[in-house]
Chains A and B, each alone.
Chain A
Amino acid sequence: GENVEQHPSTLSVQEGDSAVIKCTYSDSASNYFPWYKQELGKRPQLIIDIRSNVGEKKDQRIAVTLNKTAKHFSLHITETQPEDSAVYFCAASGYSTLTFGKGTMLLVSP
């Protein structure tokens, strides 16, 4: 089955800095890669996703890049704000289930 590795497990940045979270996956058939944000005690919410026919996608301060050859994808957050503090999960799916990484706790200090 699919295996998704996510790094780092914790990331601390100063407000205004950029943050990058990286994920690798094992199943070359995977073609859909969503990113979810989960604030403490709340539900996971989709923040951006990318499909395998696209290399990069941006939405305001958030961008995701995908390298299918290397089987890795990354989340980039620019101009971080304290409200960006949360746990971020990457996930991958192809013909089987959506498999999540273990999460990255992002802490943005004012």
Chain B
Amino acid sequence: EAGVAQSPRYKIIEKRQSVAFWCNPISGHATLYWYQQILGQGPKLLIQFQNNGVVDDSQLPKDRFSAERLKGVDSTLKIQPAKLEDSAVYLCASSWGGTLTDTQYFGPGTRLTVL
């Protein structure tokens, strides 16, 4: 089966600029996750969608980060304005069901560098 797709793969911006990332989950997967992975650390959940509704966004810095899931399929994550500490890999993952025991399949990630 086709995996989770993400674009772009790399992005370099200056602080205070805006940036958007796109994710296309595995076909039929109801749940979509966005993670932030800072160098040398494990992924940290930013937001979880089930279909087109938000399940958990408690760790999303809502003053600068926003996300939406268009028609319950593709999703975009936006940062506006970016800060130096936002430099990280942004991973999208999807799972078939809505429980946390369902296997999550990760995309290749977008590496963001904020200068």
Contact = CB atoms under 8 A, between A and B. Distances in A.
Q: What secondary structure prevails in chain B residues at the interface with A?
A: loop
Interface residues of B, number: 22
Interface stretch (B22-30, B38-46, B72-80): B38-46
A103 B42 CA distance: 6
B43 A32 contact: no
Interface in B41-59: 41-45, 48, 56, 58-59
Given A34-B103, A43-B106, A45-B106, A97 B48 contact: yes
Interface residues of A, number: 26
A64 to B, nearest CB: 14
Interface of B: 3-4, 40-45, 48, 56, 58-59, 91, 100-101, 103-109
